[in-house]
Amino acid sequence: MVKRIRWRYLVLHVHAPLDLEARDLERSLRGHIRMFLGVYGLSRCPFKLVAYDREGKIGIVRCPHDSVEALRAALAFLSDIGGVPSSLHVVKSSGTIKKARKVVEGYVEKLKSHWALLELGMKKPSQATEK
């Protein structure tokens, strides 16, 4: 009998002063992870961006349970997205997508407001007041 893959769902928070679309984020992640782990590494760590909230900058990534640590390490080395200094923070790792979505719902407002304050601080005063 073929063994079922045990998936993990990582809730990611994107720290970037960018308005990214889901496909742009997935492309950047794939490019970075292929660069960091190589093609063989990527084949052992086949991840997929399952959902992404553009406004809250929170996404859910699915990967096999035994490659969570490799994915976390690879994500720690991500320093820019499209040339803009950025980072990713794994908020929570879950065994089911239902739980991951619940975490997103619970965290989205908190993270959004917290990150908005930090993002405002990253900009120069002249940029922060621009409309």
Partner 1 sequence: MDLHVRLSCGGDPPELLIGMARHLGYSLIALSLEKEPRGAPLEGLRSLSREAGLDLAFRLDLKPSSPGELKAWLSRFRRRFEVIAVYCGNVAVARTAARDRRIDVTFYDLENLPSLLDEGQMSLLQEHGKHIEFNLSDMLGLPVDKQWKALWSYRYAFKEAKRRGIPIVFSSGASRITDMRAPRELSAVASMLLEDASLARSSVSLIPARIVDENRGKLGSAFVQPGVRVVDEW
Shortest CB 50 distance to partner 1, Å: 20
Cβ closest to partner 1, residue 1 vs residue 125: 125
What distance in Å separates the CA atoms of residue 69 and residue 128, rounded to the nearest whole number? 37
Cβ closest to partner 1, residue 47 vs residue 115: 115
Q: Which residues contact 82 (CB under 8 A, 6 or more apart)?
A: 18, 24, 28
What distance in Å separates the CA atoms of residue 71 and residue 41, rounded to the nearest whole number? 10
What distance in Å separates the CA atoms of residue 109 and residue 44, rounded to the nearest whole number? 34
Q: Which of residues 90-119 bind partner 1 (CB under 8 A)?
A: 90, 111, 114-115, 117-118
85 lines the binding site for partner 1 (CB under 8 A)? yes
Would you mind telling me the total number of residues written for the chain in this entry? 131
Under the rule (CB under 8 A), what is the footprint of partner 1?
15-16, 35, 69-70, 72-73, 75-77, 79, 85-87, 89-90, 111, 114-115, 117-118, 121-122
